[in-house]
Amino acid sequence: MERRIGVLVNPTAGRGRGARTAGEVLRLLASRGDQVVELRGDTGEHGAELAAKAVAQGLDVLVAVGGDGTMHLALQAVAGTDTALGIIPVGTGNDGAASVGIPCDAPAEAVAVVLAGNARAFDVGLVRTAEGTSRYFLCVCSTGFDSLVNERANALTRPRGDARYVVALLAELRRFAPVPYRTVLDGASVQAPAMLVSLGNGPTFGGGMRVCPDADLHDGALDLLWVHTISKPELLRVFPRIYRGTHVTHPAVEQRRVRSAHLAAPGMLAYADGERIGPLPVDVTSVPDGVRILVPR
């Protein structure tokens, strides 16, 4: 049966890899006789508009060709609908694809997953700001030290690549102080200072940092990670352990599982799937089986 497939392309993903990959992806997807249309916006916002309009007009599958940012845009269009999400990961992070088992180093294999058509339901998170912004996320919503580093890194024009994040981290560390959080977790009020507060629908962010290593995309809940006050030298020692997920054994790190959270803290921002959401306060909830994603059998 012929399917209607929309392909959302980010040509700048993976330092231009998205543009180099898009043509072959489109050719392979059309090889089975499906109706395939390319959705390539001039900006991320334009691409999101094209994706939402295409889904509203009855797409069977929306395929994101890019990194986590492109996946995040596509997720906004398909969450809560019958349209399945396909992911062709060609970005620099690809946490979303990795979290659901999609090959991240072979675009042709990821296309084969889309062609096979095996859709599975996954939980998503939903974050809402006081200004009225609502965004779904697949991986992690985070606030605190890491979101400030992201904000600083995004404002830098040099150096390029991963070095920009390191420069931003060191610069932010000089001025960072523990933040007084006011939260409501599943209806219970919790107030305490923190270095970092993250809510994981999936386990990773930032290109493989296992910030919420036990997060499960099928349990109808979010894994909350709270880093209590520690010294800056200790933060520098603990932070690299995020890549292995062993930071959770540190005595200053607290974990709990929640279905909803209200987070408020002065001067803090929320990021989700690596994308800027906006200033706190925010409300974050789990949406069980909120999206269908094409995954390997």
Give the pLDDT confidence of 240-264 residue by residue, as tens digits.
899 999 999 999 999 999 999 999 9
Last residue of a domain, one of 117, 144, 179: 117
Distance from chain centroid for Cα 103: 17
Query: In the prediction, which pLDDT does 208 show?
Result: 87
- Please give the structure tokens belonging to residue 34: 């499906």
Residue 16 has pLDDT above 80, yes or no: no
Residue 211 has pLDDT above 90, yes or no: yes
Residue 102 has pLDDT above 90, yes or no: yes
Does the CA dihedral 120-121-123-125 come out positive or negative? positive
Looking at the structure, tell me whether residues 78 and 216 fall in a common domain. no
Looking at the structure, tell me whether residues 140 and 56 fall in a common domain. no
Looking at the structure, tell me whether residues 160 and 26 fall in a common domain. no
Last residue of a domain, one of 117, 145, 166: 117
Lowest mean pLDDT among 26-35, 184-193, 242-251: 26-35
Check which CATH number belongs to the domain holding 111 and give it.
3.40.50.10330
Looking at the structure, tell me whether residues 284 and 153 fall in a common domain. yes
Looking at the structure, tell me whether residues 92 and 136 fall in a common domain. no
| Spatial separation of the C-alpha atoms in residues 182 and 180, rounded to whole Å | 7
Q: What is the pLDDT of residues 104-155, one digit of tens each?
A: 888 899 999 999 999 999 999 999 999 999 999 999 999 998 888 888 888 8
Residue 33 has pLDDT above 90, yes or no: no
**Cβ partners under 8 Å of residue 295, min gap 6:** 100, 101, 102, 113, 118, 119, 120
Per the prediction, the chain carries an average pLDDT of: 91
Boundaries of domain holding 59:
4-117
Looking at the structure, tell me whether residues 164 and 283 fall in a common domain. yes
Query: In the prediction, which pLDDT does 15 show?
Result: 56
Residue 11 has pLDDT above 70, yes or no: no
Looking at the structure, tell me whether residues 139 and 283 fall in a common domain. yes
CA distances from 291 to 15, 75, 164, 258, 288 (A): 28, 8, 33, 20, 9
Residue 164 has pLDDT above 80, yes or no: no
